[in-house]
């Protein structure tokens, strides 16, 4: 049975226990819509055709580094699907993660290492980290998306994966690029 807090069951965190999510690293993120409703458009002939909410989500994601210039963010491949969103995002070295290097660039090849693996996020306000980025993105899309469709909502959580090496990063990029073409085989297709 799960532990209780204030007489309510707590859902265990999906985050990696010993990782500081403000660390300089590449993250692969997946966010689903509530009950995996198709709010963002449709796949036609293997290509994602965004509707108004899908275009809104795309614009908000593209603005993410501009909104948070102090976090030194870099967007990688991303795709908006009918009921979910996949993205690679890098949190670069910045004033908030000094001393928690997890990544450095050598020429055109990305080298990753787990220096931040044993640094745990400090207890307290969750800002200047991956969760705060996703929270801001979801909030903005929700506020504006509900002006288009009052039922729009996200699933409460998101999935993340810390990208640890160049080969893994390349496989994830390929997965994201091929996602619309593989829609019929996607586990979220039937929703």
Note the pLDDT tens digit of each residue in 81-104. 999 999 999 999 998 886 545 544
Per-residue confidence (pLDDT) for residue 190, from 0 to 100? 59
Cβ-proximal residues to 139 (8 Å cutoff; 6+ apart), any chain:
none
Compute CA 175 distance to the chain's CA centroid, rounded to the nearest angstrom: 15
Q: Is the pLDDT higher at 179 or at 99?
A: 179
Q: How far apart are CA 39 and CA 31, in angstroms?
A: 13
Q: Which of 4, 79, 5 is nearest to 41 (CA)?
A: 79
CB 76 within 8 A of CB 89: yes
The pLDDT value recorded for residue 106 is 34
Residue 147 has pLDDT above 80, yes or no: yes
Instruction: For Cα atoms 39, 41, 47, give the angle at the middle one, nearest 5 degrees.
Output: 145
Q: What is this structure's pTM?
A: 0.80
Two structure tokens written together for 65: 């580094």
Tell me what the pLDDT averaged over the chain comes to: 82
Mean pLDDT within 40-66: 97
Per-residue confidence (pLDDT) for residue 189, from 0 to 100: 57
What confidence score (pLDDT) does residue 121 get?
45
pLDDT at 175 > cutoff 60: yes
User: How confident is the model over 32-56, as a mean pLDDT?
Assistant: 97
In order of their start, the domains of the chain are 26-182 (3.30.70.1290)
pLDDT > 70? residue 51: yes
């Amino acid at each position: 049975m799960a532990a209780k807090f204030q007489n309510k069951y707590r859902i265990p965190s999906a985050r990696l226990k010993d990782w500081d999510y403000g660390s300089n690293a590449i993250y692969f993120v997946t966010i689903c819509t509530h009950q995996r409703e198709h709010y963002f458009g449709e796949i036609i002939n293997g290509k994602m055709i965004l509707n108004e909410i899908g275009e809104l989500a795309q614009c908000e994601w593209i603005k993410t580094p501009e909104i948070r210039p102090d976090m030194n963010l870099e967007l990688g491949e991303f795709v908006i699907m009918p009921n979910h969103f996949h993205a690679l995002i890098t949190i670069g070295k910045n004033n908030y993660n000094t001393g928690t290097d997890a990544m450095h660039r050598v020429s055109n090849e990305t080298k990753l290492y787990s220096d931040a693996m044993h640094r745990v996020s400090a207890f307290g306000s969750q800002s200047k980290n991956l969760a705060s980025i996703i929270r801001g993105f979801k909030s903005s899309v929700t506020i504006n998306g509900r002006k288009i469709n009052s039922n729009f909502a996200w699933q409460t959580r998101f999935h993340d994966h810390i990208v640890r090496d160049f080969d893994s990063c390349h496989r994830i990029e390929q997965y994201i690029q091929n996602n619309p073409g593989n829609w019929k085989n996607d586990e979220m297709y039937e929703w």
